[in-house]
Amino acid sequence: MRTPFIAGNWKMNKTADEAVAFVNQVKDALNAIEGVDIAFCPPFMAIPAMAAALKGTKVGVGAQNMYFEASGAYTGEVAANMLTPFCKYVIIGHSERRQYFGETDETVNKKINAALASGLIPIVCCGESLQQNQAGVTHDFVSGQIRNGFAGISAEEAAGIVVAYEPIWAIGTGLTATAEQAQAIIGGTVRATLTELYGDETAQQIRIQYGGSVKPSNVAEIMAQPDIDGALVGGASLKPDFVELVKNSV
């Protein structure tokens, strides 16, 4: 069976010092929670210090982005092999990166390939905007994001990738998709598309998270859905009651 996976996406929050102080506060409690994989994805500057602070615990570290080239004249970018000494995971194609930083399905695809080649586990984000949701094109749009993002990725590679479905209208807004709405897209679109691409056996191995205003109070009913294997948590992962959220997920 798929092990549940809760990841905190800190976005552009917490300095390295603040990050270490925070994880020192919560790491023992998180480490004691069984049956769930846990990770924090802090800003780049906090990654090495976080990795050191979390050493010997079950809590992993992820990056929020990376570039697909291995090295070279790409001012401001960070390559996969710069992350691997510290990170197990990397978030790819978050909607904020698509919206503000020109990320496309094509760059997402290149980044997935580069991450896999370096041994990082990609957390690949997809999700529709409010307008797309209201226009009834969610299925086709999200299915297209998956098809384009996974182009050329083998079934063996795909099995180890994590997908995060995050409806853009639910991110940071306090609006959560109902657990049933999230299940409908995660099962009926995300896993269904992965099944078309890779067959049932592989698709059943792929972990799919829900993201968008997940909190300690709503995580249990989200996790109770058959196709939802975890959560990508923004705002609620910055506070100590993230421990409660993770406890409530199992």
Out of 42, 211, 216, 230, name the contact with ligand PGA by CB under 6 A: 211
* C-beta neighbour count of 199 within 10 angstroms: 11
The dihedral region occupied by 44, where left means phi > 0, alpha psi between -120 and 50, and beta the remainder, is: alpha
* Number of residues located near ligand PGA, criterion CB under 6 A: 13
Contact present, 88 and 62 (Cβ < 8 Å): yes
Window of 63-71, 82-90, 105-113, 207-215 that interacts with ligand PGA by CB under 6 A:
207-215
Residue 60 binds to ligand PGA (criterion: CB under 6 A): no
* Nearby residues of 32 by Cβ (< 8 Å), 6 or more positions away: none
Residue 245 binds to ligand PGA (criterion: CB under 6 A): no
Residue 212 binds to ligand PGA (criterion: CB under 6 A): yes
**Nearer residue to ligand PGA within complex by CB, 172 or 199:** 172
Residue 214 binds to ligand PGA (criterion: CB under 6 A): yes
Q: Torsion over CA of 177, 225, 155 and 78, rounded to 10 degrees?
A: 50
Is 139 designated active site? no
Q: Which of the following is catalytic: 139, 156, 166, 196?
A: 166
Supply φ then ψ for residue 171, to 5 degrees: -85, 120
Out of 109, 145, 213, 249, name the contact with ligand PGA by CB under 6 A: 213
The residue whose two tokens read 């100590």 is: 240
| Distance (Å, whole) CA 233 – CA 235 | 7
Out of 235, 243, 246, 248, name the contact with ligand PGA by CB under 6 A: 235
**Nearer residue to ligand PGA within complex by CB, 198 or 229:** 229
Q: Which residues bind ligand PGA (CB under 6 A)?
A: 9, 166, 171-172, 211-214, 232-236
